[in-house]
Structure 1
Amino acid sequence: MTDTSLHKETTVRRKDAPWLTLKYREMLEAWLFLSPTLIGFIIFFLGPLVAIVYYSMTEWNLLTQQATFVGLKNFHNALLVNPDFWQVLRNSGIFALGLVPLNMALALTLALALSRPFFGVVFFRTVFFAPVVTSAIAWAIVWKFLLQGEAGIVNQMLATVGIDGPNWLREPNWAMAAVIVTRVIKMVGLNMILYIAALQAIPRDYEEAARLEGASRWQIFRMIIWPLLAPTTLIIMVITTIGSFKVFDHIYQMTGGGPENGTLVLAYYIYLQGFEYFDVGYASALAMIMFVIVMALTIVQVMLRRKEME
């Protein structure tokens, strides 16, 4: 074969060869499939996050639309100057400490009761999960009427057994408890479903073997079921803690942060600063502080849970 024929054959092969190799075509297809999610992540998460970081270092009034770069002044005002911030942070901590354990304990109890098949189990699961898909504002409005003073149905029911109920949403000692309980009832169905799914994934052989060895129900739960629920418990703890710091609708509708700022939590305080007082820079700084707090709590929970599992 001459050099001319070899040159022609090589040219033909180059023309017939695909413009992309299989490896690069697969990479391109993967990026095309990921692009909608990636674009959404950039637009709806990364973009707003960068904007909040920038706004937190400015003094920007929403009405005048004038922004002045002030560095860390907003963070300094929140942490060292404004006394309301620490009361708000305390209220958020009380709300989280009340909501998370109560929600998880009630969800696990319901899951243990409804994880086994029996007549009507689907009905009860639906009843306890229905508040999750109910409008939060509608839920708060209904409970606001139920928890009124003497006119509220809750106090009327207590009066039938000789108990003089308080004005739940107007007394500082009771308003936080009322908001926590109504929020727990609203969201417990979601954690219940997660626990039910985890319980149904546990092999029954473990329980049967433990019963043959003479283990009691409490011993089976403590030594077998609870350790196997550890991954699900961690997920539920993290999402419930994050949700407790993000609560807004219940506070907005039921108490408005009162009485005497007794239920003024961080998410609602951020709303007030940004959309009532139009101080977007300070509100953005508060949002960054809340982001750091929630992230730190999540990391601590994961580390403690991992250490316990080890």
Structure 2
Amino acid sequence: MDILVLGGGGQVGTELQAYAWPEGVRVHAPDRAGLDITDEAAIARIIAERDWAAVINTAAYTAVDKAESEVAAAWRLNALAPAILSATTNSKKIPLVHVSTDYVFDGSSSGSYETDAPIGPTSVYGASKAAGEMAVRTANPRHAIVRTAWVVSPHRGNFVKTMLRLAGERDQLSVVDDQHGCPTSAADLAAGLARIALRLAEDTDAPTGTFHYVNAGVTTWHGFAEGIVAGNARRGGRRIPVKGIPTSAYPTPARRPVNSELSTKSLTVAYGLTPRPWHEALDDILDRLVGPAH
């Protein structure tokens, strides 16, 4: 069984390659340099190369603030590429698993967002990802769109690695405390995507549609930073204070959702997946980055 992973150089693509796939499953994961997924001819060639059991698209333009000025680049990767990919996979009857984001919501609701909640992106990044979702829905009926949020790992640049670096350089951190969401381990997300892809590959009646995958538990960026600093301290790092600040004190080009809490109920019902708490997932990441706790 051959599975194609797009975005092989990113956090989730890296973890999909490290995932313990069943015997006989071969994963092919070209990075951006190896495959331009906005090139329709290039996508057609790679899809024609093999009898793919499933395609998992983790590739995206994720520079949220830069997207406000690089609008065309964001839309090419986040909207045009999924349109090309979904149409091409559908022509070969290949199921498509596509990763999306909490930024498709405006963040103004209280409580957790269910998968059928109305979307209302407030940034270029969010709008381009919402368009990518629509392309997948309309072009390939055998799809699973998996929204996630606050993804972290030992790879590439992310919030955990930034907080660890700053904790080693500063005597105090100031982190936004009025944005709420669910931290998500790229490794855990990759495992969920793998299980969804295998089910779609093996069962033509497998559930399709839109799902959410985030680790369990809701916090703020400030609470997440405190968890990182505390976990680092248990591994011999510096224990420094983390001050909470309002979003207004840390202006950014792109507006962030105030509430990014995603409900994973539909994922549990459809695929039997129940993500673990984010604290546990964070410990695993810190073990890999810093070492075991003392």
Q: TM-score range with shorter-chain normalisation?
A: under 0.3
Give the TM-score of the pair, scaled to structure 2. Answer: 0.21
Give the TM-score of the pair, scaled to structure 1. Answer: 0.21
Instruction: Select the structure that is richer in helix.
Output: 1
Larger-Rg structure: 1
Considering Cα pairs closer than 8 Å and 6+ residues apart, tell me whether 1 or 2 has the greater RCO: 1
Instruction: Select the structure that is richer in strand.
Output: 2
